[in-house]
Amino acid sequence: MTHEPHCHDFQKGAADALNNDQLQELLNRTLKNGFQKKRLNGMARLPEYDQLRDQARDLKNHILDHLDAYLERFELEVQKAGGHMHWAEDGDQARAIIGDICKKVGAKTVTKGKSMIAEEIDLNDYLAEQGIEPIETDLGEYIIQLRNELPSHIIAPAFHLSKNQVAETFREHHQHLDADRSLEEPTTLLNEARKELRDRFLKADVGITGANFLVAETGTAMIVTNEGNGDLTQCLPPVHIALTSIDKVVPTLEDATLLLRLLARTATGQEQSVYNTFFTGPKREGDLDGPDEFHIVLLDNGRTELLGSEFRDILRCIRCGACINHCPVYGVTSGHAYGWVYPGPMGSVLTPFFVGIEEAHLLPSASTFCGRCQDVCPVRIPLPDLLRNWRNRAFAVGKPGGAQRLALKVWAMLAQRPGLYHVTARFKIWAMKSLAGKRGHFKWFIGAGGWTKARDLPAPQGGTFQSRYQKGER
């Protein structure tokens, strides 16, 4: 089944999530008591953390300024090491390139490491259509593949599921195993997945991974995992394909380590992820393991257009997930409400670009503009500014429409006329106070149905903001 973007469902997805008690508990546990605390602990052990963030921002900006030169150097070094470079302008080209490589070696099964780019281009469905079985090997990805779901988080794709749901999924899909086995303990589930995947690793014809960084000076691609599945995907099958995008290139190995230090700490609070694997070219003479063929498929998919736009800063993203973990909107809606592969603040910047602002116009508004996403971003991406840019673009194409648009137009007209704004605000305060009477609040109020559904709306207290400001009240 194809994971079609369905961003117009954000409001419904958010409402469903808010009514799902289990999901709310998992969100609380995973974000507030998990990722957020771990990040703080990780930062505390690295006094130069903020300095490194400045360096990382400057490094990524430098790379974006010289992207063509670093990509050309990377290609040269990949070829020198015996690898093959393939440039893909869009998802169709990337899928066709991968399909051809698989067909040439008669591939029947493909193991896959976690790759958001593969999600972006819907690779699994394409491979299945070609008669090639894709097998996800990251535990979270494996679980959601069995359930035919989208990831709900870029680094914890199945966190929205309880242990019991995972057990049910395993019982349904591992029917060759004893039906009476106990799946109470998380370690039992883990061991079962490991055993199921072990044989798949050994028999796969092709391994496909993503890449966290591409090192221009050596032609090296590198991946970071905590499970080791990326390494087995990369080195066991005879053919390895690294599917990645042009924004992943860095000039030197030292630059990669700067970003790695920030990535692990910001994402999971670890000093380093458990497995940091660097691979350069195919197996050489005398090597004990490694693929016979090594391919890089480098996807653009509109990123060069992003580079020349007001959204350029998002190309600094190293997919740590911190903006997602700290977003109060994501914190109650979870990832599926966003309707596509990238959720949270970074997703609300990327998704309208990939699927169109008409389709995804609600996402830039799924933000309180509290600024936490920008505060925690290790490469200092000004996410609220980028979301504001998208809101402007949405307005320009007629979104939102109807009463909301009219209200915004009236507000904009008043905001440009402070005198009129003041008079209108005074009238509104007087009218609301009079209507509320002694009760002092409303059970329902026109245009505030969403608010009054869950709580009373208090009538305004005191004067207008302008009058209080003039009196020096702060």
Q: Which residues bind ligand SF4 (CB under 6 A)?
A: 317-323, 346, 376-379, 381
If the CB atoms of residues 375 and 473 are measured against ligand SF4, the closer one turns out to be 375
Residue 45 CB, nearest approach to ligand SF4 (Å): 19
If the CB atoms of residues 183 and 350 are measured against ligand SF4, the closer one turns out to be 350
If the CB atoms of residues 296 and 322 are measured against ligand SF4, the closer one turns out to be 322
Residue 40 CB, nearest approach to ligand SF4 (Å): 15
Residue 455 CB, nearest approach to ligand SF4 (Å): 32
Which residues is 87 bridged to in the sheet? 298
If the CB atoms of residues 161 and 320 are measured against ligand SF4, the closer one turns out to be 320
How far apart, in whole angstroms, are the C-alpha atoms of residue 322 and residue 32? 12
CA distances from 353 to 269, 310, 343 (A): 30, 12, 13
Count other Cβ atoms within 10 Å, centred on residue 354: 18
Residue 321 CB, nearest approach to ligand SF4 (Å): 5
Residue matched to tokens 């030292």: 254
Which residues is 249 bridged to in the sheet? 214
If the CB atoms of residues 201 and 338 are measured against ligand SF4, the closer one turns out to be 338
If the CB atoms of residues 276 and 280 are measured against ligand SF4, the closer one turns out to be 276
Give helix then strand counts, H and E, for the chain. Answer: 24, 12
If the CB atoms of residues 94 and 317 are measured against ligand SF4, the closer one turns out to be 317
Joined together, the tokens standing for residue 305 give 């257009």
Q: With both helix axes pointing from N to C terminus, report the angle between 139-147 and 163-173 in degrees, rounded to the nearest 10.
A: 60
If the CB atoms of residues 51 and 164 are measured against ligand SF4, the closer one turns out to be 51
* CB contact at 8 A, 216 and 70: yes
Residue 432 gets the label, from left (phi > 0), alpha (psi -120 to 50) or beta, of alpha
What three-state secondary structure class fits 222? strand
Residue 381 CB, nearest approach to ligand SF4 (Å): 5
* CB contact at 8 A, 243 and 84: no
Residue 325 CB, nearest approach to ligand SF4 (Å): 8
If the CB atoms of residues 207 and 269 are measured against ligand SF4, the closer one turns out to be 269
Residue 155 CB, nearest approach to ligand SF4 (Å): 9
Residue 319 CB, nearest approach to ligand SF4 (Å): 5
Residue 64 CB, nearest approach to ligand SF4 (Å): 14
Joined together, the tokens standing for residue 133 give 């079985």
Q: Residue 42: is it exposed, middle or buried by C-beta count within 10 angstroms (0-12/13-18/19+)?
A: buried
How far apart, in whole angstroms, are the C-alpha atoms of residue 46 and residue 53? 12
Beta strand pairing call for 239-245 and 206-209: parallel
* CB contact at 8 A, 149 and 370: no
